[in-house]
Every structure is written in structure tokens, then in C-alpha cells.
Amino acid sequence: MYSERIGSLSPYLFAAIDDARVRAIERGVDVIDLGVGDPDRPTPSHVVEALCRAARDPSTHTYPSYLGLLEFREAASLWYLERMGVELDPETEVLTLIGSKEGVAHAPLAFLDPGDLALVPDPAYPVYRIATVFAGGVPYSIPLEPENGFLPDLGAIPEDVLRRAKILFINYPNNPTSATADLGFYREVVEFALENEIIVFSDNAYSELTFDGYRAPSFLNAPGAMDVGIEFNSLSKTYNMTGWRIGFAVGNRDILKGIGEVKTNIDSGAFEAVQRAGIRAMKGEQDCVDEMKKIYRERRDLLIKGLKRIGIRVTPPKATFYIWAPVPEDYTSIEFSKLLLEKAGIIATPGIGFGEHGEGYLRFSLTTPTNRIEEAVKRMERLKDNLST
């Protein structure tokens, strides 16, 4: 009944986690969900108010521009200039997206022919691999190892792979590992892309969720980056707007034009009222972002204390709202995630769900109210006896 394309896919990781959560709740378990990274705090009120005003304007009720309101793209370009120091032409170097996931999923369709390779980090956000398969491409896994700071070793990719590779996905601050990258790494990526004629897709959706004085750079800060790639960003995590589905891509105009060609044939653009709310988010006061960072930092420190109490040592991440924690010895990531759910009512994401090289880890999300994380820490303390038997 289904296409071979559908048959080749594993169940989407976060849908499977949600199913496990529902089943546990049906059994009467008081579940603390540290699995999917969906901010629990509301969208800032000034952004909601901007949406309400725009939604009452009949001019927003018609088909929007395929490429997005120019005003939204201007706001995104100004945001990138002020935040990243990257100068962009809003008419040609910014593309509005229905969330960055949509852009990531559509991008390979513009550049991969059947059999072409995409260089995909492992572990990684599953959509990079899924999008490659949907485009008829072949994902080639690049291991992200802890001894290399969870950065890809581009020099270890075989020559025969490089000859067939057309695109490279990178993602820092990283989901799921919370690793960060510096400008030196991005310079290396640009040199690699130029030498091998490879297009770079940089996913920077967590750029603003940083702690302890760290500020995440943009791939486009590297000299020559605009010649070889683009960067995806999103309002979802920065402004608690996951359900609004609004984001953007910036960078090389020819690459953006290719993605735009796909979009004009598949979707009809982002709802204008949401774009106007996005403008308010990017151009308005940013105290809400600073407040969320404080909350996530507090939760980070709380959860790391709980993990330490059961013998799991984790270095506090400098970015994202995830903790990438090694599982105890003698457990696989799935086995330990099952133990947490069955014995403590805690959902965490098994690392194997992000790729082969995610085995041995769990990803904990900090997008759960602080009091529930405090409760999770107490349950972990009681769980320690189970681990010693």
C-alpha cells in the first residue's frame, strides 16, 4: 500500500516517545516528560498581542507571499546584523520558512538527484537523514565523537564518498549533544566545502539559548561562508513559538532560490499574521530571551545534580536546553530509558534514536517546569538502589 520511500523510514523518534508517554499515563503513571524539546513557557505576551492585531486585519487572510513578507525578511536581516554581525540583502538572502524544520526538509529536494550523497552527522536531528531519503539521496553518516568535542572529522571522509557528496549538514549549538562550535571550525567547513564543491546547510536553531557568558557564532561569520552555504534559524526555541511554525533561512542567494523553487511548488507560504508577530519578536524587547536562559540554566544545574547522585557525570552544557548524558555501564540507551520510565516515571530520549553513534547516551530536555525537574531529581535519588543491584 505504501511507497518504498515510506517503508524505508523508521518511526519518527519523537512520535514514538509521545506514544510511550501516553501509554504510561494510561497505566496511571505520574510521568515527568524530559523527552521532546518543546518549551513549556508561553510565548511572550507582546508577540501574542501582535498576532491578535494582525489576525484581525483582513489583509492577512489571503494567500501570503511564497518567499515571505519583505518586512519579515528585513526584520530577520536586521536581527542577524545586530546579533551575528552578518550583513544580508533581505530581498535575495533571506527566505521565510514555515518553521526551520520545513526548510531543512525541503532543502535536499532542490540539490540531490537519486543516488547523490548527503553528509549527515551522527547522532543528529533525525530530519537531516529523513529529508535526504525523501529526496532520493543516500545519507552518509559522519560520527560525532566525544573525544572530538562532538565535531565531525571532515578529513576522515573517504575520497569516493566526497566525489558523490552534494550537501553537508552541520548543527551547532548541537541537538542532541549540546556541543558548540567556534569560528575556527566554521572556517574549516568553508575550506572543505570549497575544495569538494559541497553545499553547507547550517542549522542554528539554538543560537540564542546559551549560558555562562558563551555566545554562539553563525556559520556565516566565517570568510567565504556565503559562497558555499546557508543557515537555518527559528523563532521556535528563542521566543517559545514552536507551535507557530515560523523561521527563516539566510545566506547564499542561489541556494535560497533553489529552496524557494521547491517551496513555491509545495506550500503557499507562512500565514502573514504569524510573520507580523515574528517581526515583533525580533524587533521588540529581548528581556524574555534573557529570562528563559536564566530558567534553563537553573534547570540544567538542578538536573545535573540529580544525575550525579546516581553516578552519571555530565559537564554542564554551554548551550541548548538539552543534557546529553552517558548511560550507566551494562545498559543500552533504550534499556536505561525504559528503566527511568518504569521505575521513576521519567521520560528521556534514548541516544540510539539519533543515530548509531548516539548509543550509550540519553538526551534529557529542560523544557519541563522547574518543580517537575526537582521531583525528577528526587526520583533519581531513589532510583540509585535499582542501579546498584
User: Which set of grid coordinates corresponds to residue 94?
Assistant: 533571506
Contact 141, 375 (CB under 8 A): no
> Please, which pLDDT band fits residue 28 given cuts at 50, 70 and 90?
confident
Q: Do 223 and 342 belong to one domain? A: no
Where a domain ends, among 240, 268, 283?
Answer: 283
User: Does residue 288 register a pLDDT over 80?
Assistant: yes
Distance CA 321, CA 367 (A): 7
DSSP class of residue 12 equals P
Please calculate the CA angle 318-193-324 and round it to the nearest 5 degrees.
25
Question: What is the predicted pLDDT for the residue at 22?
Answer: 82
User: Does residue 333 register a pLDDT over 70?
Assistant: yes
Q: Do 323 and 198 belong to one domain? A: no
Please give the single-letter amino acid code of residue 259.
Answer: I
Distance CA 308, CA 249 (A): 39
Q: Do 345 and 266 belong to one domain? A: no
Contact 5, 114 (CB under 8 A): no
Average pLDDT on 297-312 reads 94
User: Does residue 4 register a pLDDT over 90?
Assistant: no
Question: What is the predicted pLDDT for the residue at 389?
Answer: 39
Distance CA 90, CA 76 (A): 8
Question: What is the predicted pLDDT for the residue at 14?
Answer: 64
* Closest to 360 in 3D by CA, of 348, 368, 351, 369: 351
Q: Do 132 and 85 belong to one domain? A: yes
Domain span at residue 327 reads 4-42+287-388
Question: What is the predicted pLDDT for the residue at 11?
Answer: 66
Q: Do 364 and 271 belong to one domain? A: no
> Please, which pLDDT band fits residue 388 given cuts at 50, 70 and 90?
low
Where a domain ends, among 283, 317, 342?
Answer: 283
User: Does residue 12 register a pLDDT over 70?
Assistant: no
Q: Which residues contact 67 (CB under 8 A, 6 or more apart)?
A: 73, 95, 96, 260, 263, 269
Q: Do 157 and 302 belong to one domain? A: no
Strand duo 349-350 + 32-33: pairing: unpaired
Average pLDDT on 267-291 reads 97
Distance CA 90, CA 96 (A): 10
CATH number at residue 346: 3.90.1150.10
Q: Which residues contact 274 (CB under 8 A, 6 or more apart)?
A: 51, 54, 244, 245, 246
Q: Do 22 and 62 belong to one domain? A: no
Q: Do 82 and 157 belong to one domain? A: yes
* Closest to 40 in 3D by CA, of 382, 371, 369: 369
Q: Do 295 and 252 belong to one domain? A: no
Instruction: Assign 116 to helix, strand or coil.
Output: coil
Q: Do 148 and 20 belong to one domain? A: no
DSSP structure string for 69-96: -HHHHHHHHHHHHHHH-----TTTSEEE
> Please, which pLDDT band fits residue 25 given cuts at 50, 70 and 90?
confident
Q: Do 88 and 198 belong to one domain? A: yes
Where a domain ends, among 244, 267, 283?
Answer: 283
pLDDT in tens, 146-155: 999 999 999 9
Query: For 238-306, what is the HEC assignment?
Result: HCCCHHHCCEEEEECHHHHHHHHHHHHHHCCCCCHHHHHHHHHHHHCCCHHHHHHHHHHHHHHHHHHHH
Least confident interval from 8-12, 73-77, 237-241: 8-12
Q: Which residue would you say has higher pLDDT here, 8 or 143?
A: 143
CATH number at residue 126: 3.40.640.10
Task: Report how many domains make up the chain.
Answer: 2
Q: Do 108 and 201 belong to one domain? A: yes
Average pLDDT on 332-349 reads 92
Q: Which residues contact 50 (CB under 8 A, 6 or more apart)?
A: 276, 277, 279, 280, 281
| Cis preceding-peptide flag for 326 (omega within 30 of 0) | no
Helices (H), the chain: 4-7, 13-26, 45-55, 70-84, 100-111, 127-134, 159-164, 183-196, 225-228, 235-238, 253-266, 272-283, 287-309, 333-344, 370-388
Helix 127-134, helix 100-111: angle, nearest 10: 40
pLDDT in tens, 188-220: 999 999 999 999 999 999 999 999 999 999 999
User: Does residue 181 register a pLDDT over 60?
Assistant: yes
**What does the mean pLDDT of the chain come to?**
94
